[in-house]
Structure formats: C-alpha cells, structure tokens
Structure 1
C-alpha cells in the first residue's frame, strides 16, 4: 500500500475537506488565481471547452472547478436507445452486479476488492431491484468537467445521504482500500424511468468540499452521523436524458446502477477507459 493511501486511514478527513472548502470558495484574487492556475497547469485543463475560457474571470476556485461547458462541447449519442455516460472521466470498473448465491448484489471495485449494492445504497431494500443488473463506476479527475448529467430521462423519487469517510478515490486507493465506495460519504439519487429504477450515486472523496444537485442545491457537506432520506415522490421533478443532475466541487466518482434485463453495456467500455459525457454507456434491449 502506498504511503499516501496509508495516510488516508489516519488523516482528519473532514477537517481537511473543510479547509479545502474555505480555499475553494475564497474570493481573494491572489488565492483563487493561484489555485486556478496551479490546477489548470498541473492537470492540463482544457479551457477552450469552457463557456468562460478566461481563467481570470472566475470569482473563486469553486466557480472555475464547476464551470459550464460551451454550447456543443458535448452532445448525446444519437441512438435513441443509448443510455448516456453521465460525466467526463474514465471508467474505474463496469459490469454486472452479482446475482448468484455467492456473489449476490456484489459490485466489483478492483482485483480482490468488492462491495455490495446494499452497502453502497445504504439499504437492502433499495439494492434488491439492481441485483443481477449493471453498474458503471466513472472517476472524475481534477482536469475533468465536474457536472454530472442524466443517462436517461427519470423522475426523482428519493435521495439518500449516507455519511462516511472521505478516502481518496484515485487508482491506488481503489486498489487497496476495502469497500472504498461503500465507505465514503455519498449521495444516492433514485429515479423512476420508463424501464424501471435507476440510481446515480455521487461518491465524495478526500478534499471534496461538496456535492450540489439541480433540485436541492448543496447536499454535502452538512456532515452527519445518520443516513438521511428525502422523499420526492409526487413533487414532479423530472430530469431529461442528458440534462445536468448534480456537480462535484472537487474530483470524485459517480456510480450508475441499472436493473437486470433492460440494457447491455457498451462493449467498448472497460477498466481505465477514458470516457466523455454523452457517449453511449449502455443500450436498451429491444422489447419482444
């Protein structure tokens, strides 16, 4: 295990994230510009794709980090049966959620590492519709566009804020930290679609200072010790395929869960594969 990964076991995660949050929202011209210039250079951020390409025009580092893309920078796959990639980044893992007795509900994390859908979602009942279905774990690096979009049109049913740790979600940590995505703080977003349930899980990480949704604003922080559910049934919150859903205030991971029998993953996808918002994540199976 690397030194950095080992240190994440003992580092004061929430204190570090709170400090990062203060820096991210600072409107000090010197502080925010130093952060923007450092990250842009270190990670090769392509500002030509941004709605605002001038790095000095952003009032804070967070405004830069959650920047919008210019019109047409990403387009949805033209196949009407394609479920869309929710974000820029790279595939950490994707595949089938276990359905046999020995691996029922298990989601592959890395060689020798896995976790269950129930652990991820915070509930056996919430996990049951996804047993034998599909998952895709997408890692967003600091260089990526940090808004997460809808793979398919859905009506928001419920969100579940699951408190937890804030381990790094980089490759080294994913390979070594057991059940990492089911241990980190996360926001589970449940949607009802015309093919059944769909879940998008926004997983926090070390130095992530927040998760925001388009319907509720800031959801993380507001750290807590208990699982918090918000019921949106009957509120009529419908998000269209490819519409923005949420955003990270620093690099992290989104996991999409689909029920069994409704779709097939894009065969071109695999571990460490670079991906872009709007490309085909999966395709609905033809009925009949």
Structure 2
C-alpha cells in the first residue's frame, strides 16, 4: 500500500517545479547552514568522504559543490587493457543485456522503446537495434560525474524533454517506460567498436544535467526535442578518452549506455551489482 501511494504521488506532484526549486536551494551559499545540511546528508547516506578531493564538509560553498565533488586522483583506477571498456559511473546495475530489436528491458513486466529513448529519431537508433544496453542507477551517496567507457568522438547530442519521475528501483518497477519518459540528454559517439550512446536520464529533484563540451543542458527545460551535430575535426569537435569525464548530474539519476550488436561482451555483471568507475564494464569482441 505504501509503495503504491509513493508512486501515485509522483503522478500528481509538480515534479519540474519542485526540482527547479530544490535546484536553487542546492546552489545557495548559506555558510554554516549549508555545511550543516552537507554533514547531515553525509551521515544519512553514509558518504565516504575519505575518497573526496576535499574531505572537509565545510570546504564546499554550496550543496551542489558537495554533490558534484571530485575524487582524489588515486580513488579510482581505470582498467588499462585496450580490449576492455571501463565502467562509466559509481552506482548499481539496474538492468543490462540485449536490445530486442527496438525494445529495452526496464523491469519485470516493463519494456520501452530504444528509438523513443534516443529522442524518437530512427536514424539515431538504427545502429543499436539488436545491440546491448546497460542501465546504471546512481544513488544519493554516489560520485555523480559520468566518464567515458571507451575513447569516443562526439557526433550528436540530443535533448529530450519529459517527465521527472524518480528513477529509484521501486519506480522502475512500477512506472511503464520510465527512462523513455523522463527528461534526458543523449550523447552519441563514434568509437573503435562503432556507435556508442550515453544517455543521461533526469529525475525528481535532479537540478541539472551538464556535459563537458556544452555546459548546462537542463535547465532551462524545453518542450521540443533539440538536436546538435558535431564535426569530426576543427575547434567544435569533441573527443573524449576512456576514463575522462563527459558530464555530471546535480543530484542523482541514471545512465543508459547502448552499444551496437556483436561488438562487446559484458563483464560478469547482474542486476543489483555495485559498480565502481573504472572497473571492467565489457570486453571488445574480436
């Protein structure tokens, strides 16, 4: 009953308004009050500050600065084998496996459309039909910067307006088409194994989605899909190496990574497994 109530409330809550309001509060620099909130959050969610570049809660001027904290240089090791992809985030596996033509598995009883996820553009989705996907959930305690699993040349970025449902495991089990309904930013890369899609999915109280090449994408929110193309050379080209940062969330969310068919084999990961940035994500098929 309680779970059903939690889901029902999400349908009627003004999620965009709430998220933007919390975003403003999270950006506020309120001195001792900000530090007190950060300390409470650390205690509540058991955040490991020993890994943070700045371990003192008082060193962060805003909650956003704390939430998007950098890690120490030696806190994570990126797998060095050229035949292996690196996990792009700290989090937990929600689901991973095969894309069944245009269908991605969300949770028991729920699938959603790959094409819809990628902005409703068949030409963008086509390379991934029958490929593989991995959905990774970032909890409040996790490091919230997203890194590249493989060297990539950016070709497309798509902003897709949508809802801001929670992306918690409970919501994934109860809300049909969750990741293809929520606001999201899709980044498409050319890599040595073909196209790779990195989808940054917004959620309730996610105050911002940013990329390294374009800065803040949302907010402001839009009501239409927006599509940017990037050249393969020149000052506007974007190349990101394996393990380098590609974007971040201000407050937590989920990523969905998509790969072409017959290009990779995932590491021994199953739903529920904890992920750590830089560990082995997949092996390239030869």
Runs of 4+ in 1 over 4 A off after TM superposition: none
What is the rounded CA distance, in whole Å, between the counterparts of 1:22 and 1:31 in structure 2? 15
Residue in structure 2 matched with residue 238 of structure 1 by the alignment: 239
The offset of 1:173, in angstroms, is 0.3
8 Å CA contact retained: 1:262, 1:285: yes
CA-atom RMSD, angstroms? 1.0
1:165 lines up with 2:202 in the alignment? no
Match of 1:258 in 2: 259
Q: Which residue of 1 aligns with 2:31?
A: 29
Equivalents in 2 of 1:136, 1:149: separation in Å? 15
Render the CA deviation track for 1:37-62: whole Å, top value 9, x for unaligned. 22111110000000001011001000
Unaligned runs of 5+ in 2: none
Superposition pairs of residues 52-63 of structure 1, within 5 angstroms: 52-63=54-65
What corresponds to 1:70 in structure 2?
Answer: 72
Once the two structures are TM-superposed, the CA of residue 30 in structure 1 deviates from its matched residue by: 3.6
Farther off after superposition, 217-226 or 71-80: 71-80
Q: TM-score, normalised by structure 1?
A: 0.95
TM superposition shift of 1:121:
0.3
The correspondence for 2:102, drawn from 82, 98, 105, is 105
Number of corresponding residues: 280
Which of residues 143, 147, 150 in structure 1 aligns to 2:148?
Answer: 150
Partners of 1:65 and 1:269 in 2: CA distance: 27
The alignment partner of 1:8 has SS state of helix
Matched residues in 2 for 1:233 and 1:260: separation? 25
Q: Partners of 1:10 and 1:124 in 2: how far apart?
A: 32
Per-residue Cα deviation, 1:117-146 (whole angstroms, up to 9, x for no partner) = 101001122111001111000100010000
- What runs of 5+ residues in structure 1 fail to find an aligned partner? 99-103
Question: 1:213-251, CA deviations, whole angstroms, 9 ceiling, x for partnerless residues?
Answer: 111111111101000111112432100000000000011
Shift of 1:35: 2.4
In the alignment, the residues of structure 1 paired with residue 33 and residue 18 of structure 2 have an alpha-carbon distance, to the nearest angstrom, of: 17
Match of 2:136 among 135, 138, 148: 138
Alpha-carbon distance between aligned partners in 2 of 1:118 and 1:89, rounded to the nearest angstrom: 25
In the alignment, what sits opposite 2:117? 120
Task: Give the match for residue 101 of structure 1.
Answer: none
Partners of 1:2 and 1:172 within 8 A in 2: no
Tell me if the contact between 1:23 and 1:31 (Cα under 8 Å) persists in the aligned partners: no
1:125 and 1:171 map into 2 onto residues whose CA distance is 31
- Spell out the pairing of 1:39-50 with structure 2 (5 A cutoff): 39-50=41-52
Q: Tell me, what secondary structure is at the counterpart of 1:15?
A: helix
Q: Could you tell me how far apart the structure 2 residues matched to 1:121 and 1:187 are? A: 9
TM-score (norm 2): 0.96
